[in-house]
Structures are given as C-alpha cells and as structure tokens.
Amino acid sequence: QFLQKYANHPVYNPPRGPELNAKNWQAEAALRMFLNNLTDEVAEAPAELVVYGGTGQAARTPDDARKIIEVLLELEEDESLLVQSGKPVGKVRTHPEAPRVMIANSNLVPHWATWEHFNDLRKRGLIMYGQMTAGSWIYIGTQGILQGTYETFVACGEKYFKGDLRHRLLVTGGLGGMGGAQPLAATMAGATFLGVDVDPERIRKRLETRYLHKMTEDYHEAKQWVLEAKEKGEAVSVGLVGNIGDVLERLLQEGIIPDILTDQTSAHDPLNGYVPVGLTLKEAKELLSTTPEAYKERSLKSMARHVGCMLEMQKRGSKVFDYGNNLREFAQQGGETDAFRIPGFVPEYIRPLFCEGKGPFRWAALSGDPEDISVTDEALKTLFPENKHMIHWLNEAEEKVAFQGLPCRICWLGMGEREKAGLLFNQLVREGKVKAPLVIGRDHLDCGSVASPYRETEDMKDGSDAVSDWPLLNLMANTGGGATWVSFHHGGGVGIGYSQHAGMVILADGTDRAERCLRRVLYNDPALGIFRHADAGYEAAQGNAEKFGLDL
C-alpha cells in the first residue's frame, strides 16, 4: 500500500504530516528524504532515478529503490541499513544513537578511479554515480546551491566591482539542477544575467520555479534584452537555448564582453554530461549510444574551444572563474593548455568562510508544511540578531525562493552557530511549535568534508590538496557522533578520479537522544573544517580554533 501510494516508479512522493509510516522517526526521516530526492518537483529525471549533476542518482535501480523503502519501513532503532552505490546490501546491529543508514557511493581503489572503469562497472550494474547529495538523500532542489552561488557572486562584486553589481552583465552556461540557481543568485546580487543551456526543458523548469525571468531561443532577442537591462541597471535574468561554446564565440565576435563569466554545464562528465558543439540534443544522444569514443573526443574538443573563448574574454577584462565542474581539466585534455589560468571559485572567494567552519547548513520540514520553515526562519533571526547578513539572506529567500518537494531552507552557518541552531530546532519540535520533526544536513561541499584538488581544496597553502584523510575523518567523527545517516562518496562535483567527500544528515525530533546527537555532530562537523584549514597553515582558522576552544 505504501509503495503504491508513495513510490510507484517513476512517481515518487514523500509522505507528509505528523504520522509515522516507519517504526521510528529516524528511519521515517531517511525514508521521506529519500523519496523527496526522487519526487518530480525535485529530481531532474526521476524515471532514471537521476536527481541532479549529470547522472547523480539516489538509488541504483527501481528494484533497489523499492527494497530501500521496504527496509526503512521495518528498520528498528538498534539496526542500521548499509547501502552500496544505491543498492541496499544488509543490516548491521547498532544502537539508537548510531546512524540508521550508512551509505558508500561510487568509491573505487585510486588506480582504477577513472570514468572508463566506472562506466564499465555501471554498465554491468555494479556501481552508481552518487554525485554529492543525490546518493546521500539530502538534495533539496535548486535552493541547495542558491546561497553558495549568491555568496560567490557577491564576493566577486566586492572584490572587483566595489560591492555593486548593478549595470554588470554575468554570463554562464548550464541551467540544470544546480546551475539553475545562477539566475536567481545573480539577480539577488543585483546583476543582469544571461544563462545558456542546450536543453529548453531545463530552462523551462527554472521559469516554473521562479528562478528565471525570461526565456528565448533567439540569440538576438536575448542579447537585446540583457544589453538593455544592463544599461538601465535592471536585475533581469534571461535563459537562452543554445550551446554555450557557440554563444560565447558570437559574443566575442560582436565585442560583447561580460563583466563576470563562469560555467555550470555538467562538464565533470564528458560523456553523460557535457553536450558537444554542432549537435542537436537528439544527435548527441544518438552519437553517445552508437560511438561513445567519438562523443568523448568531440566533447573534449568543444570544452577546449569553450574555455578558449573564456580565456579570450578574461584577456579582454572579464572576471572569469571556474565554478566547480572540472571544465578546466577536460578542456586541457581537449588541447587548451592555458585552461588553468582561470582561477577556481574556492580559493578566489570561499576559503575564508571555510576557515570559520562556515558552510551550507540546510534543513527540511518533514511535516511538508511551509509554515514550519517560516517558524524556523523567525527563530533563527531571533537567535542571531547580530548576524545582519544572515537575516538579509533569510528575508530574501522567504520572498523569492519557491519550494520544491518538502519545504526546506539553506543558510550558511559556521562553528558554534550550527550547534546552537540545531538545538533550537530540536526545542521547536519538542514544544510543538512545528508540526513534525526537522532534518538538518549539508552539501558535501563544506569546510571539512571534502578533498577535491580542482575545487574545495584547490591550491591549499601547504600543498595538501589531494590528501583525502580529512573527509574520512569527517565521516568517522559524524558516525561516532551519531548523525542519523552518513555517506562517503567519490567523484562528486568534478567527476570520477577527482574528489572524495563525506555527507551527513541529523534528525531533530525533540527527544533527549536527538539533543545528545545534535550537540556532538553539529560541533564535530564544522570543527573538522577548522582543524583541516588550521593544519594547512591558515592563520584565520588557527585564530578560530583558539576562539572556539578547539583543542588542536
């Protein structure tokens, strides 16, 4: 009955309300968030179990999805489910303060960690690409990256445009699951925006969810709209159907140089993500299924040309940065030897936040009632009245962000703040101020949870970019601390071979048990970020270690 109502593949739908379907709230939370990842409003392609980020999946096959649901419905508080690359493989004996689900996705022994080997295993049904929050069941739709993108654009404005992005044109490629946050983040920051995507359906989804203002298939129309808006200083966002490589070339030919230029196509996967130039979507699909080698070659060459245009724009004054999709590496493989002249966004804008243990803290209302998120927003504003930046962000988000699936919120918080917020949420549940428990999680893109030399750990002060002991320590700390589910993945963001990272989600159900777990996990998790950056020699992190009494 439950399966028919909530998980009749490909129609998934999280249950809402205060009633349990599982035997306890810990398993119920995992169940609701798993189904939320796959629901139509949230997932980019639910029929293929694809949530976002190219082929990032929540479960390996529809049968595995069904089995995960069946086990979660029966799971006791002294058992934990083990999930191997989207397939439930067994239960182990644990205890009520241990994670209810432990997940490992896409991990390969380093020597074999290539897309070729991975794709071969995937074809044989042995592995799944988990991206970051797809396979770890805490994707919350495009809002999940919205604040990070907003912070990045604002930081760019502060560094290069005297803190004012009005009369500035920001151009980018890719309006998919995560890339779709760019238009709203850009307009919130005051800029005029042009985003290019080959797939009109993806652009339409951003219009429907109010992330984007206008869409067109006509280059000239798009150009006219954005140039007029830029002139008037209007924060207008335009989605243009096309290949970003082509559009950049035309802009260059016409001498139109964006003030800011980045990219969020799924370049991390040259086969199942990036669409080469000169092919319609249909032709691209055909080429991929008949001759993948030829597809890959075209893909790499197109990325080289795409980055070549970005470098030319950079020479002509554009502020260009890589936005975490490994475009530079694959452009280099395609022949663009200067690709790494483009800086990565983490060293450029985000690392100072990581040194404070700050990162993308997020939560979801399991009740399904948007009013519960309003209650949490107001409670946070009262808890941190001095944090004007956060209050501005929450006000903007309340007004402009449309929920997808279960109502949720993202808000970057640091060491100390995360623990206080978690305990406050537990209190709200205990006192019945919200209608059902809340779950708290984060992206794997966080201060102490990821090793990714072309992204989060690019250009570390001590050269320790590729050391992946840190995300493993993060996983162990959060498992020991009692997160409600934990995960360890490989290849998220930048693709197979290039990253390893850990995820965690923790339930606030108003109990004393939850309070103990929250105190440990929401202390340990950001502390790992401070340990990692202090150890690498960042003075700001060393200062924060002292400020928060972390025993280095």
Binding residues for ligand NAD, per CB under 6 A?
Answer: 44, 52-54, 145, 148, 173-179, 196-199, 202, 243-245, 264-268, 273-275, 323-325, 445, 493
Report the distance separating Cα 98 and Cα 80, nearest Å: 8
- The answer to whether 151 and 221 have CB atoms below 8 angstroms apart is no
**Residue 323 CB, nearest approach to ligand NAD (Å):** 5
- Residue 156: active-site member: no
When the beta carbons of 52 and 295 are compared against ligand NAD, the nearer one is 52
Give the residue closest to ligand NAD by C-beta: 176
- The active-site residue, picked from 156, 309, 408, 411, is 411
Report the distance separating Cα 184 and Cα 177, nearest Å: 13
When the beta carbons of 246 and 356 are compared against ligand NAD, the nearer one is 246
When the beta carbons of 104 and 494 are compared against ligand NAD, the nearer one is 494
Would residue 192 be called left, alpha or beta, if left means φ above 0 and alpha means ψ between -120 and 50 degrees?
beta
Q: Name 90's bridge partners.
A: 82
When the beta carbons of 57 and 474 are compared against ligand NAD, the nearer one is 57
Report the distance separating Cα 313 and Cα 263, nearest Å: 13
Q: Write the DSSP string, 471-513.
A: HHHHHHHHHHHT-SEEEEEESTTT-TTS-EEEEEEEEE-SSHH
Report the distance separating Cα 298 and Cα 334, nearest Å: 9
**Residue 328 CB, nearest approach to ligand NAD (Å):** 12
Q: How many CB atoms lie within 10 A of CB 292?
A: 16
Report the distance separating Cα 468 and Cα 355, nearest Å: 18
* Beta-carbon contacts of residue 289 (< 8 Å; ≥ 6 apart): none
Q: Which two tokens stand for residue 433?
A: 């101020």
**Residue 173 CB, nearest approach to ligand NAD (Å):** 5
- The answer to whether 339 and 345 have CB atoms below 8 angstroms apart is no
**180: helix, coil or strand?**
helix
Binding residues for NAD(+), as ranges, are 53-54, 131, 177-179, 197, 202, 264-268, 274-275, 323, 493
When the beta carbons of 273 and 526 are compared against ligand NAD, the nearer one is 273
Binding residues, as ranges, are 53-54, 131, 177-179, 197, 202, 264-268, 274-275, 323, 493
Q: Which of the residues are catalytic?
A: 411
